Amino acid sequence: MPNTHKPYRIIISGGGTGGHIYPAVAIANQIKAISPASEILFVGAKGRMEMTRVPEVGYKIVGLWISGLQRRLTLDNLSFPLKVLSSVRASHKIIKEFKPDAVVGVGGYASGPLLYAATAKGIPSLIQEQNSYAGITNKLLAKRVGKVCVAYENMEKFFPAEKLVLTGNPVRQDLLDVSEKRREALLHFGLTSEKKTILVIGGSLGARTINKSIASGLNKFAEGEYQLIWQTGKAFYSEAKELEQNYSDNGIRVFDFIKRMDLAYAAADVVVSRAGALSISELCLAAKPSILVPSPNVAEDHQTKNAMALVQQHAAILVRDADALQELVPAALQLVQDEQEQQRLAANIRKMARPNAASEIVNELLKLIK
């Protein structure tokens, strides 16, 4: 189909975690797919992971001097008003120089000042909320922007109903049809098709409770003739690597970070994961039977709310963080042995996938521009 779109100039702002950054990049990629000559500028927070991750995928980013409010009294909190003023001023300058047609906020510290400045100038603006519990920045901005794209139903309690569009979260397109990559995946990880495989992921930073729980039951996976792909994050990696040496012949594979997540999902019969919004969107797209262990260390316990949205549809199994040491390994072993339950969970989670999220969000953005 010929490209009929004129070139656009778009600013995408936000970050702080992979859960904000990867959807932002997916939106940028979709803009470039429909209008290759478009120019996209990312605006992030200095010192946060977006400042390295965004250039790695080929986009330009500028940083604002901004951070969040800590829950306890710190020097950072005392400088917070100054940071906000400085960042709003810097945002006005960025907007004046770049002259965007529209601005997208994905949540995280930098999106507040940037969208505040953009909406003050009347520039069409949209926010994308990944979680089932809205972040404070997005709640404050909702009154000022034209549209709010969300991944969950019943978000009227956070945002004006007339601005809401249910799009889902944009995720990597290589997660579509992972079932076709199973042979390649098993080869990639040095595993066999004769045994069932469990994938354990704790998010880009790792998850201490999940790691401790898996470590304590490693012998049970090995004795039961199950294979394990275990992403530990950096902090637990060396400890897990030592344990792996006892079981390397038994198909236990340990990584601090997995680049080819499409192959990790393709190899897996069952997935154990945190319940971040992005992780859940990926699990829906990959249609994998999953055990979710929500992190208790997030604002308003939003990971539990994310997980419950699936559990209520019988699309995932919940193990609470406080119960994981006792319950996680038995739950994983029980699920990997129960093919009927795996099929039921996979069928239900597949219904919740929204593979066209990025294109739906960009369509909303173009409507605002027009």
Q: Residue 272: which H helix or E strand, with range?
A: strand 270-273
Asked if residue 131 belongs to a known ligand binding site, the reply is yes
In this prediction, residue 134 carries a pLDDT of 86
- 154 has binding-site annotation: no
Q: Is 206 annotated as a binding residue?
A: no
Amino acid 251 reads G
Q: In which residue are the tokens 């797209």 written?
A: 285
The reply, when asked if residue 183 is annotated as ligand binding, is: no
* Residue 303 amino acid letter: Q
Residue 238 is labelled as binding a ligand: no
Other beta carbons less than 10 A from residue 154's beta carbon: 11
- The pLDDT score that the predictor gives to residue 203 is 59
Count of C-beta atoms within a 10 Å radius of residue 278: 26
| pLDDT at residue 335, as a whole number | 98
Report whether 224 belongs to an annotated binding site.
Answer: no
What token pair was written down for 232? Answer: 């530990």
Is residue 19 marked as binding? yes
| Spans of the chain below 50 pLDDT | 1-2
Query: For the domain bounded by 174-350, which CATH number is listed?
Result: 3.40.50.2000
Rounded to whole angstroms, how far apart are CA atoms 320 and 325? 10
Give dist(CA 16, CA 47) in Å, integer.
9
Please give the pLDDT value at position 2.
45
Query: In 3-state terms, what secondary structure has residue 261?
Result: helix
The domain 9-169+356-369 having CATH identifier 3.30.450.20: the answer here is: no
User: Residue 346's Cα: distance from chain center in Å?
Assistant: 20
Strands in 290-292's sheet, in edge-to-edge order, are 252-255, 227-231, 197-201, 270-273, 290-292, 317-318
232 is an annotated ligand-binding site residue: no
**What local confidence, expressed as pLDDT, does residue 1 receive?**
40
Where does the chain hold its CATH 3.40.50.2000 domain(s)?
Answer: 9-169+356-369, 174-350
Q: Minimal CA–CA distance to 303: which of 106, 30, 35, 19?
A: 19
